[in-house]
Structures are given as structure tokens and as C-alpha cells.
A and B are shown apart, each in its own frame.
Chain A
Amino acid sequence: MFKRDWWKYLSGVLLLYAIIAGFIVDVPDTMIQETMRNLFYHVGMWFGMMAMLITGFIYSIRYLRKFDENEDIVAVEAVNVGLMFGFLGIFTGMIWANFTWGTPWVKDPKLNGAAVGMFIYLAYMILRGSIDDVHKRAKVGAVYNIFAFFLWIVFVMVLPRLAGESIHPGKDSPPVLPMNLDPSMRIVFYPAMLGWILLGFWIMKIRVRIKRIENRILNNEI
């Protein structure tokens, strides 16, 4: 039990630590003051989303190799959890932006990349919804997911280069790693990121199991 599920406990402990320590740790006194603490939560959403979307991409490729329905379920649920993280990331970002920049949405390549990612994956869900045949749905969905993920990654990498300037931090490194982070914050930041990613996998696993049971009920196996 513990041997298999240790990472779930780890996720819980890490997030509990991130929430408690996130509010008591000393943050440097910069322009954005105490809202700096949002870093532990807002950036975590981005990490969780990336982990989920990459998982979805990998399982879509695996589906096309073997046509095993279970791989497709994982791909869909990973994208579903990725969408949830994406929306939470946008909401936490809006709250932060409202304080820092005075408006919830600014025209910025990072924000546009996040929004376009949401459009792409919402379209993925609509595409799947409009195909009735199970195998066809899985196959077409997998093809679209691979195609779209690739173009979205290009978009996220290319657009900041085109725009030149971005007011969103974390510009120099492709994944949003705050490079000159205060040491006192670092000891909260890294565990928090790992915790959010593990939480994503946990939610995904539960959703996959629900989906499998639903499928078995549909097939009259139980």
C-alpha cells in the first residue's frame, strides 16, 4: 500500500508544507510586496499543466502504436486535468496581474500562449465529443493531440521571440523558472512545484480509474 502510493503521501506533505511555509516564509521586500507569495501557487499551476499536457502527448503516441483503449483514457484525462490547471493558472495569474500591473489581462506573449493552449485543448474536447464511434474517436483524438501539442509548444517558444519584450517574468528560461529567486523562497518553491505535479498525477489516476469503471459498466462487465 505505502510502497505503491508513497508519492501520493509525498504530494500531500509537500503541498501542506507549501501552504503553511508559503505564508510564513520571509519574502524580499520588492514592489509587489506580499503578493510575491503567489509564486508558490501560480507557477505551480503552470508546472502541473505542462506535466499533464506532456503526459497526454506521450499517451497519445502510445495509443497510436498499440491501439490500446486504456492509453487513450489516460491521454484524455491527462488533458482534462491539464485544462483544470491551465484555468486555475490563468485565474491566479489574473489576481496577481490585477495587483501588479493594474489590470487582469495584458497583451503579453506568455499570457497569449496560455490562452491559446486553452483554446487548443477545449477544441480537442469538442472534437472528441463530435465523434460517436469509440475507436475512431480515440484515433482522431490522438492524431489531433500530437499535432496540436507540437504546434502549441512552437507557439509558446516562438511568440516571445517575435514580440521581443515580455513583462511577464521568467523570460530568459523557456520553462518559467525564476532564476534569481531568494534562497529563503527557494526552499519553499521547489518542493511546492513537485507537490503540484504529483497532485496532478494523483487526480489523473483517480479520473482514469473512474472512467475505466464507467466503461466496464457500459460493457455490462459488472
Chain B
Amino acid sequence: MQYLEIKYLVGKEIKLELKQKYVLNGILLYLVSTIFVTYLAFENAITAETWNSLFWIILLFVAVNGISKSFVQESPARHLYYYTIASPQAVILSKILYNLFLMAILSVLAFIFFLLLMGNQVVNVPLFLLTLILGSLGLSSVLTMVAAIASRASHNFSLMAILSFPIVLPLLATLMKVSRTAMSSMDWSGLSGLLVILITIIVAVITLAYLLFPYLWKD
């Protein structure tokens, strides 16, 4: 039953996004222009280290911008309507799932633009793509939950940044560490520990979101 609810809610999110194309286009333009500005600013200073740091910092900002709208783009009256017909768990899981799609697309696009403008620094491409998928999942789950918290307060756009940056750090630090390995060697050994940490963080965040979101939803 909940599975069906999630399916419809994700479909609703996609329809809503396609209906308001300017929001999606805005995030895309934000992504491309940020990468272009850093490309101009860092013209002669791109090493594997800076490439990696820039990539994840840009992705973090894009994610915060893209996900912060999750709970504010629709009117409170519409939320009340969802509240009466769907379970809160289905709402949060569908938002996380939809933001996962969004982040997966945005991170692959960011990778392509990085390749075009700043050259390729990635040696182990499969590992890097795995990092992108795990990163999208992690960022979407943490930031969706923070967006839900911030949407309950006034001035939630600046709140979104101050609430999410410190919280997202364990995830981001682990991601950067894994992707740095993908830039130096084809070697997969020694990564199991980091990947376990990453997956543990993601599972824990989704569980916490699942348990805590009903309290936020019920107003």
C-alpha cells in the first residue's frame, strides 16, 4: 500500500517539476555557470586535489539550492491535502527518492562539464560513478530532511545552509576521501572500510528521517 503511495507521490513530483520548467532550468544554469566561474578562476591551478574539492563543493551548493525548495514550492493548503490522503512516511520517502533522481542527473551533468572544462583527473571511472550514486543518495536524504526542518521556520533559505553544512560534513568528508582514491589509482583495496561508513551513514539518515518526519508533518 505504502509502495503505491510512494509511486504516485514521486510521479506527482516529476509532473510538478516538468510543469514548472523554469525551476529545473534555473538549477541547471546555476550548475553550469558556477562550474564556468570556477574554471575561469582556477585556470592554471587545477590538480587532482583541487578538482576533487571543487567538484564536491559545487555539488553541495547545487544540492542545497535544488533541494531547499522541496517543502516550500507547494502551498500549505496543498500539504494539508496530502496529509489527509498519504502517510507521512510515504511523503518523506517519495521526496528523498525524487531528490535522488534529481541529484543523480545533476551530478552526472556536473561530471560532464568538469570533463569538458577542466580535463579529466579521474583514473578509476567506475569507482567515481559509484561515489556519485552514493553521494546523490546521501545528499538527497540528509538535505531533504533538513529542508523539511527548515521549511517549518521563517527565513528558511539562509537557515537551510547553516543547518545543513555542519550536518552534511561526515558524509561529504567520506565522499571526498573515496573519490580522491578514484583519482590516484585503479586499486579498489582498502576502500571497503570507507564504503561501509558511507552506507552506514546513508542507512542511518534514512531511518532517522523515516522515524522523525511524522513529527514535522503533523502541524
Taking Cβ atoms with an 8 Å cutoff, the residues of A that contact B are: 64, 116, 119-120, 123, 126-127, 130-132, 136, 139-140, 142-144, 146-148, 150-152, 154-155, 158-159, 161-162
Q: Does B177 contact A (CB under 8 A)?
A: yes
Q: What are 13 of the A-B contact pairs (CB < 8 Å)?
A: A64-B215, A119-B165, A123-B166, A127-B150, A130-B155, A139-B216, A140-B149, A142-B215, A144-B149, A144-B163, A147-B208, A155-B169, A158-B173
State whether A150 touches B170 (Cβ < 8 A): no
Determine chain A's interface SS by DSSP, over half rule: helix
The 6 residue pairs across chains A and B that have the minimum distance between CB atoms: A155-B170, A119-B166, A130-B153, A120-B166, A140-B152, A123-B162
Chain B residues with CB under 8 Å of A139's CB are 215-216
Chain A residues with CB under 8 Å of B106's CB are none
Given contact pairs A136-B152, A139-B216, A130 touches B167 in the complex (Cβ within 8 A):
no
Q: Does B201 contact A (CB under 8 A)?
A: yes
CB within 8 Å of A: which B145-181 residues:
145, 149-150, 152-155, 159, 162-163, 165-167, 169-170, 173-174, 177
Q: Complex: how many Å from CA A127 to CA B193?
A: 35
Given contact pairs A127-B153, A140-B153, A143-B149, A158 touches B163 in the complex (Cβ within 8 A):
no
Chain A residues with CB under 8 Å of B142's CB are 151
Chain A residues with CB under 8 Å of B193's CB are 161
Q: Complex: how many Å from CA A136 to CA B151?
A: 12
Chain B residues with CB under 8 Å of A132's CB are 154
Q: Complex: how many Å from CA A120 to CA B142?
A: 14
State whether B159 touches A130 (Cβ < 8 A): yes
| Extra contacts besides A130-B153, A155-B170, A158-B197 (15): CB < 8 Å | A119-B162, A120-B167, A126-B159, A127-B163, A130-B154, A130-B159, A131-B152, A131-B153, A132-B154, A140-B216, A144-B149, A147-B145, A150-B204, A151-B167, A154-B204
Closest Cβ neighbor of A67 among chain B residues? B215
Q: Does B219 contact A (CB under 8 A)?
A: yes
Determine how close the nearest CB of chain B comes to the CB of A125; give it in whole angstroms: 11
Determine how close the nearest CB of chain B comes to the CB of A8; give it in whole angstroms: 34
Q: Complex: how many Å from CA A177 to CA B2?
A: 47
Chain B residues with CB under 8 Å of A127's CB are 149-150, 153, 159, 163
Interface string of B23-61 (1 = CB under 8 A from A): 000000000000000000000000000000000000000
